Amino acid sequence: MAVVEKTVDIIGDEAFSDMILAKAVPENYPVDMYDDLATSLREYALYAMTGLQSVRFTSVTKVGNYALANCASLKSIEMEKCTQVGDNAFYDCLELDSVEMPLLQSATTRSFALSSANGQDKLKTLNLPKLSSFGGSMLANRKNLETVVAPKATQVGVNSFYGCTSLTQIDLPSVVTVNSEPFKNCTGLQVINFGKTVTSMNASAFGSMPDGVIINVPWAEDEVSGAPWGGTGVIINYDVPYSGTVPMPT
């Protein structure tokens, strides 16, 4: 087990980048990292640590670009105080199956994405109760992702859910802005439930989606301009009160 000493305050740029842990420990040996004082993981801090299986940072509030990208064996992330993750922060973490980041507010481009929908990913549930926006391609190619809970998210970015083929329902009670084709290639998608907060909908918001997807919106047809916002095969039901599985935030 690799342990970061409690005297560490910041894990800096590329601190452990490209470490081949198999040279230090037997191949496939479980390697974990724990720290309760570090407040920041900077860019590339733990990049490509291929033997790393779990991380727990109790005081980290910010994760930089590529900080844990390409950690091919990483299974669990626990960061109870983290509010911000950068571009590609957990990109191509194929084995990831547990994310505990209850205070996460901002997740930017490709932060949890995979490079291709190869079916190896394990992440099925993502619960981010404080998330304010889905970054562009944030969850791209997470083809085994079944449930996303983000009741306070106000923005959905370009291709945010690209290729999430196991998603059947998405509940977005607080979304204000929807960008271009966030649900592109979500071939299993059946229902999207919106709250009444939407004020801006990209003309291609529902483009590249399977025919027959039901989109329930609690506003009248003329309230948000540009309908039907792309996706000629989708079914838009107007004046439907929000009734999704994600509760409206209080």
Q: DSSP per residue over 119-167, as a string?
A: S-----EEE-TT--EEPTTTTTT-TT--EEE-TT--EE-TTTTTT-TT-
- Where are the alpha helices (H) located in the chain, listed in sequence order? none
Residue whose tokens read 């979304």: 175
At 46, list the tokens.
Answer: 């733990």
Closest Cα partner for 144 from 97, 77, 193?
A: 97
As a whole number of angstroms, the distance between CA 127 and CA 149 comes to 5
User: What confidence tens digit (pLDDT) does each residue in 226-238 have?
Assistant: 777 877 789 999 9
78 — pLDDT class (breaks 50, 70, 90)? very high
As a whole number of angstroms, the distance between CA 115 and CA 202 comes to 25
As a whole number of angstroms, the distance between CA 177 and CA 199 comes to 6
**Range in 122-126, 209-213, 228-232 with the lowest mean pLDDT:** 228-232
- 105-250 CATH, one of 3.30.530.20, 3.80.10.10, 3.30.460.10, 1.10.10.10: 3.80.10.10
User: What confidence tens digit (pLDDT) does each residue in 127-160 have?
Assistant: 999 999 999 999 999 999 999 999 999 999 999 9
Structure pTM? 0.86
Break the chain into its structural domains and give their ranges.
Answer: 1-103, 105-250
User: What confidence tens digit (pLDDT) does each residue in 186-196 have?
Assistant: 999 999 999 99
